[in-house]
Structure 1
Amino acid sequence: MSSTAPPRRTASGSPGFLKRSQPRYGEKAVKVLLVAASLVSVLTTIGIVIALIPPAGEFFSEVGFGEFITGTDWAPLFKPPSFGVLPLVGGTLMVTLIALLVAVPLGLGAAVYLSEYANRRVRKIFKPLLEVLAGIPTVVYGFFALKAITPLLQDVWPAGDGPQIFNALAAGFVMGIMIIPTIASLAEDSMNAVPRALRDGAFALGSSRMQVSTRVVFPAALSGIVAAVVLGISRALGETMIVAIAAGGQPNLSFNPLEGMQTMTAFIAAAGIGDLPTGSTGYQTIFAVGALLFVMTLVMNLLSIRLVRKYREVYE
């Protein structure tokens, strides 16, 4: 006679037969939402490219690309017009460089303090306070630069040599303050992701806290720090209100930050609300400058991705 073995029982006493799991509709819905969010970002970028290419192509069919890139006089609405974009590019890079000189040391210093020196209670208090700066409207930063920073610079500067009412120095300084939370928060998150074992090993070898912070944690989190700095640069390049209010609206190819300058975004904002006839060459300059700014940002992000992959550390 053949006998059938009794079913194996689990610890709870119930038969150990595998049951068919119920469909997880909630999990599928979350997956669909995440895919949709990713597609929105991709489709938005594609839409921007599609919106820029036709008008920019019409512009370059009338204006030579070499004249546009290498010209030093930007006066698209004058008679005769000039389409040299270098004054706008120079103003954009000048303001961005000043902003980075302010934001990178202060942002990374704040990140090192919050990650390596501050205790948990201090971190919970100071990090949200730091991130409050990111929620202040940029128009407020612009008026702060114009009404507070510029007069202060004029007071402390030698008589006759001070900055103009509109200048790149005040705009870049306040823009640097604006992007400090972006760099500090992302860099601090990257430093916190470094395994504790690396710190403990360095302390066991007699390293000081400063040595651990600068020679162990900082190099290990370098990929995330690079990403934080690049995100700050991207935000500085795309900022409009601060430079439109504090830097001025006069294209000026100069290396003197005390003079007024116009950036690419400030020109787009000023020309976009003007009375330019649709389809005219002056109107198409908006899309040409926007396309150039898009290419600059794209190249910078591609370089940052390469750096992040090069210095990325993977821990088990």
Structure 2
Amino acid sequence: MQTSLTDEHVEQKRAIANRVKTIVAIALSAVIIVSFFFPYIRFVFRDTSYPLTGLQLATVRGMMVYGPQMSGLVTIPLLTRIAVIAGVVLALAGIVLLLVRKPVWAGVAYILAGVTPLVSLITTSNIQTAVTSLNISEIEIQYLWPFLCTLAFGIAGAILSLWTQGTERLAQSIFKVFSCVSVGSVAVITIYIIVSGAPALAEIGVGNFLFGTEWEASSEIFGILPMILSSIVGTIGAIIIGVPVGLLTAIFLSETANPILAKIVRPAVELLAGIPSVIYGFFGMLVIVPAIRTFPPFQGHTTGDSLLAAIIILAIMVLPTIVNVSETALRAVPVSYREASLALGATPTTTIFKVTVPAAKSGILSGVILGVGRAIGETMAVIMVAGNVPNMPRLLGSVRFLTTGIAMEMSYSTGLHRQALFAIGLVLFVFIMIVNISFTYISKKGVQMDAN
């Protein structure tokens, strides 16, 4: 009888605690809904201030901005409108779901409501771009308490809703949420890049943009074919040099190295991974570029700032990634594979290249994929050694990569020019996605062939 009373008392306490959590979650979502009618974001353009409520962000067409030389109507981005409205609708949905005792779905609604301010944060940068095109540099965007409430209370409401299912369910839900962060980040970045870059592609024309051979921002001529080809050739060149060197280094460290020598080589490789890009750029500018310029066969044919210099510096930069990942994959191969090969009479070298490396090829390919990503995305070091002229790629000629084109001109770009730079980012994003998908397909195909 005593045990029964104790269990009943525990259940009552748990029910009261869950009721309190539900009431607090509903109260927080009510604050989110009410905050929709209070100033959400304040835009300050020179001496003009526009404090806009969530309702105004969703309904008004835009803001009239007056500059020293020109003025115009700056419209509210569609995604900003959708995000603000979605925050309120999802908070209301969370209340309804809690009342009908669907706490898990309520938690999902609250999480999505908490994400909507981040979407607003990203999309309002388009307003800054539009105002900059009016020759107004004094721009300030202030995110007020309703913005912060939606972000904080949405997450808090999700935690409270899921907590009513018990601590274990809350922990599982938190793990799932954080596991989805990477997917959500990719989705948000993808949407932002598409929204920012698509207008330029529509105005310039996809064909003219992708296959045009001239880039003259002052004349609004935007062709990025030289940059695309330079990026592709530079990445392929870096991989052709870096992969054999990195793979053989990994084989040396995992299979044949003397322990004392390995203790010297491994920290040196790890040190390469920690060196900032700008240091690589300085090294390339002060050592590689002069070496190319003074190399007897090249004298008089190049200034040193060239595609070749970019390939060499990128090949050095991808080495740590390829070496570390490949070494880990090689060490993961079971010792029994090596012993079986040696027992059948194979030499150690034959065992390495016929047994160990094929068994570890999935991990090695992952290292190559990461190396390709590092080479494609590198900016600072390439800026310092490539010459930065949008020419068609020549080994000894100055070139400009996609990444360097964005970095060099984004700070002063406005209007169509700025949108074209975002379109370059979109092309670069698609390019990287194609590379990753291709490597993943090749890796899975190789695993299936081995299984067969």
TM-score, length of structure 1 as denominator length: 0.83
Whose RCO is larger (CA < 8 A, sep 6+)? 1
Match of 2:199 among 49, 58, 61: 58
1:268 aligns with 2:268: no
Q: Classify the secondary structure of the residue corresponding to 1:312.
A: helix
Distance 1:227 1:27, change over 3 A: farther
- CA deviation map 1:230-286 (0-9, x unaligned): 1100110000001111112210113x2111100000011011122x22xx1111011
Structure 1 partner of 2:423: 288
Distance 1:193 1:50, change over 3 A: same
Q: Distance in 1 between matches of 2:437 and 2:198?
A: 24
Distance 1:159 1:216, change over 3 A: closer
Q: Distance in 1 between matches of 2:316 and 2:174?
A: 35
Amino acid in structure 1 at the alignment position of 2:185: T
1:188 aligns with 2:327: yes
Structure 2 partner of 1:237: 376
Amino acid in structure 2 at the alignment position of 1:182: T
Amino acid in structure 1 at the alignment position of 2:303: Q
Q: Distance in 1 between matches of 2:350 and 2:389?
A: 47
Structure 1 partner of 2:285: 146
Amino acid in structure 2 at the alignment position of 1:202: S
Q: Classify the secondary structure of the residue corresponding to 1:273.
A: helix
Amino acid in structure 2 at the alignment position of 1:105: P
1:205 aligns with 2:344: yes
Identity within the alignment, %: 34
Give 1:105 deviation, angstroms. 1.1
Give 1:292 deviation, angstroms. 0.5
Gap regions ≥5 residues in structure 2: 1-165
Alignment of 1:1-316 (within 5 A): 29=171, 34-75=175-216, 77-79=217-219, 81-120=220-259, 122-158=261-297, 160-254=299-393, 256-274=394-412, 276-277=413-414, 280-312=415-447
Do the aligned partners of 1:142 and 1:171 also contact (CA within 8 Å) in 2? Answer: no
Do the aligned partners of 1:150 and 1:163 also contact (CA within 8 Å) in 2? Answer: no
Give 1:44 deviation, angstroms. 1.6
Structure 1 partner of 2:114: none
Amino acid in structure 2 at the alignment position of 1:46: A
Do the aligned partners of 2:293 and 2:299 also contact (CA within 8 Å) in 1? Answer: no
TM-score, length of structure 2 as denominator length: 0.59
Task: Give the length in aligned residue pairs.
Answer: 285
Q: Pick the structure with more strand per residue.
A: 2
- CA deviation map 1:148-174 (0-9, x unaligned): 111112222336444324211112101
Deviation larger for 209-218 or 38-47:
38-47
Q: Classify the secondary structure of the residue corresponding to 2:353.
A: helix
Amino acid in structure 2 at the alignment position of 1:72: T
Do the aligned partners of 1:107 and 1:180 also contact (CA within 8 Å) in 2? Answer: yes
- Superposed CA RMSD in Å reads 2.3
Do the aligned partners of 1:167 and 1:258 also contact (CA within 8 Å) in 2? Answer: yes
Q: Distance in 1 between matches of 2:305 and 2:426?
A: 27
Q: Distance in 2 between matches of 1:133 and 1:269?
A: 24
Greater Cα radius of gyration, structure 1 or 2: 2
Amino acid in structure 1 at the alignment position of 2:204: V
- CA deviation map 1:114-155 (0-9, x unaligned): 111124554444323211101000011011111111111222
Gap regions ≥5 residues in structure 1: 1-23
Q: Classify the secondary structure of the residue corresponding to 2:231.
A: helix
Distance 1:27 1:188, change over 3 A: farther
Do the aligned partners of 2:197 and 2:419 also contact (CA within 8 Å) in 1? Answer: yes
Q: Distance in 2 between matches of 1:126 and 1:311?
A: 31
Q: Distance in 2 between matches of 1:226 and 1:186?
A: 9
